[in-house]
Chain A
Amino acid sequence: QKEVEQNSGPLSVPEGAIASLNCTYSDRGSQSFFWYRQYSGKSPELIMFIYSNGDKEDGRFTAQLNKASQYVSLLIRDSQPSDSATYLCAVTRDYGQNFVFGPGTRLSVLP
């Protein structure tokens, strides 16, 4: 069974710190990796996607992928209280389908 695992949290960081969110997956054939942010009562919102090993940066967000270790992470620099949300990791081996979501990590950024 294909699985995606995340620490459920809550992960608490002070404002201005770096928040590090981790995700591991079991399917070695996975090709595409996504991070979604979900505020309470709202639907998931895509933050970043990454396909290749290494780092991908977008503003304050950096996604890191290590396929050999089956590990993908999301770093949030200069964390703000508005970053407080649940972060979902999603993985797929098939183009545009068969997405597998992790349980999500709840992040709390303390002012």
Chain B
Amino acid sequence: SAVISQKPSRDICQRGTSLTIQCQVDSQVTMMFWYRQQPGQSLTLIATANQGSEATYESGFVIDKFPISRPNLTFSTLTVSNMSPEDSSIYLCSVVGTTDTQYFGPGTRLTVL
């Protein structure tokens, strides 16, 4: 399985600011995804990060709020823009490699005050 790291692991931010979360994989992967998981809830897919092109967003998520970059096959960033307390959540990066199995990074715990 791929080894996935995320930075930062947690952060506390002020309302109206933005935070960029980084996801790094130790090997080239075909697919990278960003999820959000609110306390006690299941996973909600935000978008698929596409290498070299715009991300594919799920219903309810827009590029202006959650811009995503994926410059190569091992790295992606998710920015949470103009944050509000409702954005407090755990943000998870996941990858799919040569099999169709999905693996998750350790997550970023975001608190917005």
Contacts and interface: CB of A to CB of B under 8 A. Distances in A.
Contacts of A36: 104
A69 interface: no
A54 interface: no
DSSP majority for the A interface?
strand
Interface size class of B (residues with CB under 8 A): 20 to 34
B62 interface: no
A106 B94 CA distance: 22
Contacts of B99: 96
Contact of B31 (A46, A97, A101): A97
Contacts of A90: 102
A23 interface: no
Interface centre among B1, B45, B100, B103 (most CB of A within 10 A): B100
Residue among B30, B99, B104, B105 facing the most chain A CB atoms (10 A cut-off)? B104
Interface of B: 1, 30-31, 33, 41-43, 45, 48, 90, 92, 96, 99-107
